Chain A
Amino acid sequence: MSEAMRDAWGMALVSYGEEHPELVVLDADVSSSTKSRLFGERYPERFFNLGVAEGNMVGTAAGLATAGFHPVVNAFAIFLALKASDQIRNDICYNSLPVVIAGAYGGLSDSFDGASHQSIADIAIMRAFPNMQVIVPADAGQAEAALAYAMVQHGPVYVRLNRNAMPDLPFSADFAKGKAICCRKGSDVTIAANGITASLAMEAAEKLSKDGIEAEVLSVPFVKPLDVDGLAGSVVKTGRILTVEEHNLIGGFSGAVSEAFMKKDICCRFDSIGIEDRFTETGPYLPLLAAYGISSEHIAKRATALCK
């Protein structure tokens, strides 16, 4: 089990603060959860805790960005996507300002707090805003790489972070290029996994292999821009794709893949695992994911069905 993304994110902010005087960090009274507090302790003059007011925090970040700063705003993903979406759209995206929107506790990772805190619509909202890039890291290393990527962009980037420590994936330089990362080669089915579901997909691939099905596992952190060529390259071999995400199936990663495939005339068998348009509930993280079909067993089962 690796370091949690939020810990990696907080430390990465501190590390960037040294060499990047243009980095300013804002939080909405959850800095001990998002770990942006680490930056605030080190660089208090460039840290602003604006209270439980996500919209104002994002608007303030926009003002800072117009004057040459590169703000990173931190709050829970659900509250950024829903409470601050007006400011994210109109102040940040409309003007293509370089602001990093760091959505903490993404997906179901705030598992015990229940549906009010579980973010299953943020990807759909963020990817619908022109100029916005959307990244869903799979592990702590990808979270650090996402910050490195976002800090050299001239426009907005949404980074969805997970609360809990999840297994590490092999590091790949493909992340910095926005590419789908091939974690396992296979020829029977492509499992394209968004965010932390990549580690579950890897477990599923091991199970499938025992049954004689060789799955190619892609970790796909970039929902937008989507590496369509990388996905297509795998699907050309396998003829099948199973997308996996920790989000409502409406408007999320599988939606992005299917939209892109249709536009490019990429034909294949297609299935998707995610939240089936329902509100989620309280519970321990992995059992909660499993309750909605996001588990290695379920991924293996659906991949097997796709291969029949």
Chain B
Amino acid sequence: MDKGISELLADPSRKMNAEELAVLAAVFRGKMFEILHQRGTGHWGGASSCAELITSLYFNRLNIKADCPEWEDRDRFILSKGHASVNLYTVMAYRGFFSTGMLPEFRTLGSCLQGHPCMTKLKGVDMSTGALGHGISVGLGMALAARIAHRNYWTYVLTGEGCLDEGSSWEALMAASKYKPEHLVLMIDYNKVQLDGTEDEIMPLEPLDDKLRAFGWNVCPYGLDGNNTSDILRSFEWMDEEGSWPKAVIYNTVKGKGVSFTEGDHKWHGAVITDDAFEKGIVELNADIVSKEAAL
């Protein structure tokens, strides 16, 4: 167990508060940066932007059993933006799904930590992802399954802009508003930067909230900072309070969050983290951990 968060993680199934989640997300972000540097492959930009989102889901929200990952009534989570796999793996490891000692195996031959998440290689991954634009469809299927099997689990789909460029996402949005399955939530990691450039340059999505509403979704009306755990917990409360389905939440985030020279820069979507970049970046990430711990 990493020094500093061992106390927090004494019982990883405990529902954590915003301050605790902020510490964990900062620690996990540093861990991701370290893994990606060591491996020399992976996606820093889009993994970093959703560190708080995935951490908050696994340590506050999801009804799951790390020691029984195939429990039928578990909440489902689909990382539709599968290139953020290092984020999912890091959070899952610290949540107890597998040993944190396995994390350095990321993207190595024979590892269950495939380049993009693979449900047949790693128990606890609810859907293999990587080809963008599939998650909402799969989530719709899982949510419909809950309805016809009379189960009460929730299904959460996390997408980025790339997923929403794909037409199949909009097919799924239409279909979900037709069938209105209970407990289907779309969470959008809206960092507004894609692989080739900014969203405005590549494929403008605005007005995104209006588009989602026009497709029949109940969109969270709050302006939310997806890198702020208090805002994320506020969105969770909205999900519980709002009765109309299906629901979407747009979280404004920063690509490459936590390292000043990577923030908002599309070149860090999947660039190799060099030794020099690592040495500079890890100082900032560690400082963030210290500052978040001080707020506990």
Contacts and interface: CB of A to CB of B under 8 A. Distances in A.
B87 to A, nearest CB: 20
B127 A66 contact: yes
Interface in A87-112: 87, 90-91, 94-96
Nearest to B145: A67
Contacts of A227: none
Interface centre among B130, B139, B151, B175 (most CB of A within 10 A): B175
A53 B141 contact: no
B246 to A, nearest CB: 13
B200 interface: no
A61 B172 CA distance: 12
Given A62-B141, A63-B138, A95-B119, A56 B127 contact: no
A82 interface: no
B48 to A, nearest CB: 25
A170 B179 CA distance: 44
A30 to B, nearest CB: 15
A91 B138 contact: yes
A87 B134 contact: yes
Contact of B128 (A45, A60, A91): A91
A62 to B, nearest CB: 5
B118 interface: yes
Contacts of B131: 86, 90
B72 A68 contact: yes
Contacts of A59: 134, 136-138, 140-141, 168, 172
A50 B139 CA distance: 14
Interface string A44-77: 0110101101011111111111111101000000
Given A55-B171, A60-B172, A48 B138 contact: no
Contact of B175 (A53, A71, A87, A90): A53
A94 B119 CA distance: 9
* Most chain A C-beta atoms within 10 Å of own C-beta, residue among B134, B151, B155, B179: B134
B137 A63 contact: yes
Contacts of A91: 127-128, 134, 137-138
Contact of A87 (B119, B120, B140, B168): B168
B175 A60 contact: yes
B140 A60 contact: yes
B119 A45 contact: no
A95 B175 contact: no
B52 interface: no
Contacts of B120: 94-96
Interface in B221-280: none
Nearest to B151: A67
A56 B174 CA distance: 10
Given A86-B131, A91-B138, A63 B118 contact: no
B174 to A, nearest CB: 7
A145 interface: no
A294 to B, nearest CB: 35
A90 B138 CA distance: 11
B36 interface: no
B83 to A, nearest CB: 14
Contact of A46 (B127, B137, B148): B148
A259 B153 CA distance: 47
A56 B140 CA distance: 9
Nearest to A61: B141
B139 to A, nearest CB: 6
A91 B168 CA distance: 13
B140 A63 contact: yes
Given A48-B179, A63-B144, A63-B155, 19 more contacts: A51-B171, A55-B137, A55-B168, A55-B171, A56-B172, A59-B137, A62-B127, A62-B138, A63-B139, A64-B141, A64-B142, A64-B144, A64-B145, A67-B72, A67-B145, A67-B151, A68-B72, A86-B168, A91-B128
15 contacts: A46-B148, A48-B144, A53-B174, A55-B137, A59-B138, A60-B140, A60-B175, A62-B141, A67-B72, A69-B148, A69-B149, A71-B141, A90-B131, A94-B118, A94-B128
